[in-house]
Amino acid sequence: MPTPGHSHAQWGPADQIGAGNLLTAEKRLAALASVRQGRVYDVSHEIFMGAPFMAPNQTPFLMSIFGSWRDTIKRRRKLGALNDAGTNLERIEMTAHVGTHIDALGHFSRGDMLYNGNAAADVVTDWGLERLGIEHAPPMITRAVLFDVAPGTHLAPGQVVTADDLQRAADRGGFAVEPGDIALIRTGWGRYFGVDNARYLEGEPGIDVPAAKWLVERGIVAIGADNMAVEVLPNPDRSVLMPVHQFTLAECGVYLIENLALDDLAADGVHAACLILLATKIRGATGAPVRPVVLV
């Protein structure tokens, strides 16, 4: 098996799943075998009108009833139906990055370059990604490790979560990161999701590139956090924007999971457990809403 944390070239020039290659059958079996109580922690937020979004790239979530029971019953009566079967059907407009979601590897570039040497000019079309879309993200059934970097409280916007902070959180949680794990980082900032959106969006505590590198070197498949972007905002170095996204997605093929709800896990002292995350296979999408669950 390739050494975790090395460049994307380790999985070959045709690779489109990046660190997903570390999700082995052995990792799945070990994670499933760790489940003892059958308890489920839903670590996602609801998607709803009024959910926070980062303008201008992200747009509001909009949902309206496109076909209602009234209209459908009328139409079916005209066709001779006598049982008044009413249908309610919605129309939804959204980006794939609303609420709890996972980023596809094609979501971010460094200049023109996407993951694994793919040129954005060749991949990004008006109708989606020709390569590196979310449909390639493998089912993620593996061990999640919770880094509670703000026990009982929350960090402040712009506060950096360093590699040392992660190590201390791992020591408190009694685990060591293993290849194929998914990192969940609790900063406490998730308490403002949908409660005080203005505050939630004014900035956020999160990891910097050295902390991301620390995780990648240990073979992490994906990094999730209870904030909008996983990484610290604003970055203390104002000359760079979203460098963690560039490093993890475009350089390393490591996925990002955003807007998680991690307070219940932390409150119950769950620091290492089975996580199941399945991304909807929307061809060419740069991400997908997800409902990850942790089983203990």
pLDDT value at residue 9: 61
Residues of the chain with pLDDT under 70: 1-9
Is residue 215 assigned to a domain?
Answer: yes
Same domain? 188 vs 159: yes
pLDDT value at residue 102: 98
pLDDT value at residue 7: 52
pLDDT value at residue 153: 96
pTM for the structure as a whole = 0.95
Peptide bond into 139 cis (omega under 30): no
Q: How far apart are CA 214 and CA 222, in angstroms?
A: 13
Same domain? 81 vs 186: no
pLDDT value at residue 4: 45
Of the chain, the end-to-end C-alpha distance in Å amounts to: 28
Q: How far lies 139's CA from each of 89, 134, 221, in Å? A: 28, 11, 12
Do the Cβ atoms of 226 and 264 come closer than 8 Å? no
Structure tokens at 92: 């939804």
Q: Which of 44, 108, 95 is nearest to 288 (CA)?
A: 95
Same domain? 38 vs 70: no
pLDDT value at residue 1: 37
What is the domain range of residue 84?
62-93
Give the burial string for 89-107 (b: 16+ CB within 10 Å, else e): eeeeebbbbbbbbbbbbbb
Is residue 230 assigned to a domain?
Answer: yes
Same domain? 260 vs 288: yes
Is residue 144 assigned to a domain?
Answer: yes
Is residue 188 assigned to a domain?
Answer: yes
pLDDT tens for each residue of 266-276: 999 999 999 99
Is residue 37 assigned to a domain?
Answer: yes
Same domain? 194 vs 273: yes
Same domain? 288 vs 172: yes
Domain end call among 93, 116, 151: 93
pLDDT value at residue 10: 83
Give the burial string for 219-234 (b: 16+ CB within 10 Å, else e): bbbbbbbbbbbbbbbe
Number of structural domains the chain divides into: 2
